A and B are shown apart, each in its own frame.
Chain A
Amino acid sequence: MALIEISNLTKIYNTTSVPVYAVQNVNFTIEKNEFTAIVGPSGSGKTTLLNMIGGLDDYTEGKIVVDGVDLSALKANQLVDFRLQKIGFVFQAYNLIPVFSAKENVEFIMLLQGVSKEEREGRAVKLLKQVGLEAKIDTRPSQLSGGEQQRVAVARALASKPSFVLADEPTANLDTASAESLLDLMEELNKKSGMTFIFSTHDPRVMKRARRIVTLVDGKIAKIEEAKA
């Protein structure tokens, strides 16, 4: 069974007058351990598609099944729980809690899951070490560089032991060196830990590393390419 199955997915804004198709009749699957990029020009529907996969946005027609669960069957609170347990998020603007340290930001997800204090503190430190930030555990986001903040965001995304990580333009606000470093990290996590990453991106550096590229144009899948070995 695929990790994510998307069938006939359509999202229409303004259904009563002139309909606007954000996403139209999208069909594809994502398997475990994939490193997939959803690409396309601005307004092609990449972020909307990513949001729908993450249960952050609803859809007009079709089906999304994640880890065997039909998202449309879940109520609002169930969807929140589902995201907490199954999905990690990395955002373009990092979106860390500014009043928490790096460690507290990572711990926060586990706190929501009800993990004990001892376990979540230990795991937070381990994850931050894994992303190369063991020296900045108690530093607040305002004192970290963009690249470092995004690494904390990756650690946070992994804290809940998700089935996959959705990354929406994670390198958009980073300089070249930081972006490369971040992508190295994500690729390493994908190869060594088997974590599935799904990106929404314009960044050719991401596309270069992706093993599958789904191209969207005007809300429709234009092509799906497997990366050359």
Chain B
Amino acid sequence: MLTALAWKNIWRNKKRSLIVIVALAFGLWGGLFSGAVMIGMGESMVNLAIERNLSHIQIHKPFYTRDRDIKAYIPDGLEIVGAIKKIKYVRNVSGRTLIEGMAASPASTYGVQIIGINPAEAKNTTSISKQLISGSYDELSKKNRIIIGQKLAKRLNLKIRSKIVLSFEGIHESIVYNSCRVAGIYKTESAQFDGMHVFINRNDLFRALESKPIIHEIAIRLDKEKNIPQVLRILKKQYPRLSVQSWEEIAPEIAFLSDSMENFTYLFVAIILFALVFGITNTMLMSIIDRIREFGVLIAVGMKRMKIFIMIILETVFLSVTGGLSGILIAAVTIDYWSKAGIDLSIISASLESFGVSAMLYPELPLSMYFVLSIMIILAANIAALYPAVKAIHIKPAQAIRTY
């Protein structure tokens, strides 16, 4: 009956209660939706990076990523690529020859990373082949063809079939020059990547280096991300002398940003709840002031102050949970809709490119967050109820009964 009384008391002043409920609902919806957009952005950043060039796992010679020495290639790299293809959960593998060099055109010169690939093999480990805005990926099978990013093309004032000269230090420590024709121009979600990476058939590089085939990096794509730990264990055991790393180890800043989005969402919602707590406290205080005489009567007829305290806590919890759950429900529906339809942010695509995020965002919110947020709402409600409840139980019944 105390619970029934608390619930009925909320609706004594419908307008006042509805204002609080609506404020809570929309506040939470805003926070959750923003959080879902941020988490979606983080996921987008990770997925695009994995598809673009990171892959799920990479193998290098130890310290290669620190020194980037052309001579630090993986011994028997091609054989290892072949062997890894047979491991369970491995979907695609590709061996890359990586060289730091310069790209020059009549207009300008720019520092680039030259990525030597087997075009057919690399097609399934990088998304570049699907992101050409002009030219043809298959042209890479021809001699001395190159695919460059749109940003680099603009910098060097290049178009399809333009001539570009690559210069880099060879294995024998001499400067090597290689003249290529632009076969394709790609555009990814990361303008920074587009400006600094060029793709070339690795056979052209071996010819230019006058070297046997050398592989600096093995990129591995798995069927599911959750299989990374297991495959990592297998590879580390199989190749103890090589550096086997997951994408999180290679690009910890991306992993950090992505993981942080969930924490930012909690923080965001906590701030919103903190602000709303004051509103709820104010509403409850007004409600108590309206009912001072009633509380006096309840104490007079024999209701213990602790029961009044609990009743007010219950009222506040009911009010907050009604608003909070409504907000969570609205958020769930809208997030679900837009997680499928996507939000077109092409109007700010230039800014998003600097983060490597797609202009088409798909917000998402993990299920566990809904549960945690429900707990946060109940906690916030209890905090909001404390002051009004304490105020109510300190009423002097004799004086309270006489108020109007």
A interface vs B, CB < 8 Å?
Answer: 47-48, 51, 54, 56-57, 76-77, 80-81, 83-85, 89, 91, 93, 95, 97-100, 104, 107-109, 111-113, 156, 160
Closest to A99 in B: B8
Q: Is the CB of B304 within 8 A of A77?
A: yes
Please name 9 pairs of A and B residues whose Cβ atoms are closer than 8 Å in the assembled complex, sorted by A. Answer: A48-B398, A56-B300, A80-B299, A84-B303, A85-B302, A89-B301, A93-B293, A111-B2, A112-B307
Q: Is the CB of B401 within 8 A of A91?
A: yes
Query: Which B residues lie within 8 Å of A89 (CB)?
Result: 297, 300-301
- Distance from B295 Cβ to chain A, minimum over Cβ atoms (Å): 11
Query: Which B residues lie within 8 Å of A156 (CB)?
Result: 301
Query: Which A residues lie within 8 Å of B2 (CB)?
Result: 111
Q: How many A-B residue pairs have CB under 8 A?
A: 63
Q: How far is the CA of A91 from the CA of B400 in the complex (A)?
A: 12
Closest to B299 in A: A80
Q: Is the CB of A80 within 8 A of B304?
A: yes
Q: Is the CB of B401 within 8 A of A81?
A: no
Query: Which A residues lie within 8 Å of B299 (CB)?
Result: 80
Query: Which A residues lie within 8 Å of B398 (CB)?
Result: 48, 51, 56-57
Q: Is the CB of A84 within 8 A of B5?
A: no
Closest to A113 in B: B302
Chain B window 3-15, contacts with chain A (Cβ cutoff 8 Å), 1 for yes, 0 for no: 0010011011000
Query: Contacts A51-B398, A104-B1 given: A91-B297 contact, CB under 8 Å?
Result: yes
Q: Is the CB of B303 within 8 A of A112?
A: yes
Which chain B residues (144-185) contact chain A, with CB distance < 8 Å?
none
Give me 8 other A-B pairs in contact (C-beta within 8 A), A51-B398, A109-B302 excluded.
Answer: A57-B398, A77-B305, A95-B401, A97-B5, A98-B12, A99-B8, A100-B8, A160-B302
Query: Which B residues lie within 8 Å of A95 (CB)?
Result: 293-294, 297, 401
Q: Is the CB of A107 within 8 A of B302?
A: no
- Distance from A203 Cβ to chain B, minimum over Cβ atoms (Å): 18
Query: Contacts A95-B401, A97-B5, A104-B1 given: A109-B301 contact, CB under 8 Å?
Result: yes
Query: Which B residues lie within 8 Å of A47 (CB)?
Result: 402
Q: Does B279 contact A (CB under 8 A)?
A: no
Q: Does B397 contact A (CB under 8 A)?
A: yes
Q: How far is the CA of A112 from the CA of B5 in the complex (A)?
A: 13
Q: How far is the CA of A99 from the CA of B315 in the complex (A)?
A: 13
- Distance from B5 Cβ to chain A, minimum over Cβ atoms (Å): 7
Query: Which B residues lie within 8 Å of A100 (CB)?
Result: 5, 8
Q: How far is the CA of A198 from the CA of B307 in the complex (A)?
A: 28
Q: Is the CB of A80 within 8 A of B305?
A: yes
Query: Contacts A80-B299, A80-B304, A95-B297 given: A56-B397 contact, CB under 8 Å?
Result: yes
Q: Is the CB of A99 within 8 A of B12?
A: yes
Query: Which A residues lie within 8 Å of B302 (CB)?
Result: 80-81, 83-85, 109, 112-113, 160
Query: Which A residues lie within 8 Å of B8 (CB)?
Result: 99-100
Which chain B residues (3-30) contact chain A, with CB distance < 8 Å?
5, 8-9, 11-12
